Amino acid sequence: MIGYILTLEQKNAIQGQEFASYQYFNCVISIDDIWFTFFTSEEEILIKNTVYNWVLNCPKGEFIPKPTPPII
Amino acid sequence: MLNVFGLFKNSVVSYDADALAYFARVTAAGGSLTTAEKNAANTLTLAYKSAGAWTSAVAIYPFLGGSAASMAQNLKSASFTGTFNGGFTYSSLGAAPNGTNGYFNTTIEVWPTLPDTNSFSMATYINTNGATGAYQMGAVGGNGTYNLIGGHVVNSTQGYYINNTTTVTTITDATNINGFLATSRIAAGSYIYYRSATSTTITANSTSVAYLYPIVMGASNSFGGVVGSFDTGRIAFGHLGGGLSDAIMLSIRSAVITFQTSLGRA
């Protein structure tokens, strides 16, 4: 899946922040220890009108999830 | 219906007071509900009360209104309004997580909200298939206690339905993971898991209460509060509360399926 690539600072700037009513940023780390986030096209429209619109200018890349240890 | 003057008579719908309060919360949040959605929510409310499941419920999420604001609202009360995190697609059919970073946070920590180790139930309804390797709902406690629904989290035929226990029982279920998914415990040593048309008792497990990490939907909360195992199944209902007897849970299952069918979401 293609997502927005974030530096650690950028990730810390948005993680858990609200970008629209009841909608919050969530970042995930890739197999290469790179932070990513993802939006639908509708969410991008919402983000464009916030102070976080700079995220939409972050580079994009293919996200490969880190093989997380099983919860069980 | 025509009155004596041959004029159409307004049909007056009398809504339950708790349903009305939920409608008001949706409106206050900036959302809106159609008449059909209001009627369905009202019917669901009445079904919960008729079944004897209303009082023990902590959260009932009907996922109505087609927006994050409306779907975050708890039918049961003004408490435990949820939050959407990561990528979701919202529609009248429910909220579909993207399977990569999207999850719904109920904010409900089983302890201390539901501290009785032998009384806990949770349920969801998804109307598209859940993903292999994903949890539909749940959290892991800091003490290693699990409350999880992950029908095919192990592989394409095996998963977990776990309720207030550290004991893991692998369930083999080759069918697609969708519809009504639930667990309910009312005693030590056993609990029941439910799908839309079946239910099975799981025995020989110790009970304890999962604490620290809130129950999420569309994924699972895990050690350290890190959410993972993201699902793609579109969420159309959620429930958390005290344990329900088999008879009551079957009534709720029927009510939820009726709810979904009435809205064309089954």
Indicate the pLDDT class of residue B97, thresholds 50, 70 and 90: very high
Indicate the pLDDT class of residue B236, thresholds 50, 70 and 90: very high
Closest listed residue to residue B138, CA positions, set B109, B158, B113: B109
pLDDT of residue B5: 47
Size of interface A-B (CB pairs under 8 A): 76
Tokens of B45: 């409310």
Are A40 and B87 in contact (CB < 8 Å)? yes
Which of B 163-222 lie inside 8 A of A, CB atoms?
168, 220, 222
Residue spans of alpha helices (H) in chain B = 17-28, 35-51, 68-71, 110-113, 246-262
Tokens of B181: 């998914």
Average pLDDT over residues B54-76: 98
Q: Say which of A38, A63, A68 has its CB closest to residue B228.
A: A68
ipTM for the whole complex:
0.96
Closest listed residue to residue A72, CA positions, set B146, B208, B67: B146
Residue B87 above 50 pLDDT?
yes
Indicate the pLDDT class of residue B7, thresholds 50, 70 and 90: very low
CA distance B98 to chain A (A): 9
pLDDT tens digit sequence for B140-181:
877 788 999 999 999 999 999 999 999 999 999 999 999 999
Average pLDDT over residues A13-28: 98
Are B101 and A65 in contact (CB < 8 Å)? no
Are B68 and A1 in contact (CB < 8 Å)? no
Contacts of B69 in chain A (CB under 8 A): 21-22
Higher pLDDT: B3 or B51? It is B51
Instruction: Tell me how far apart the alpha carbons of residues B148 and A72 are, in angstroms, rounded to a whole number.
Output: 10
| B31: nearest CA partner in chain A | A21
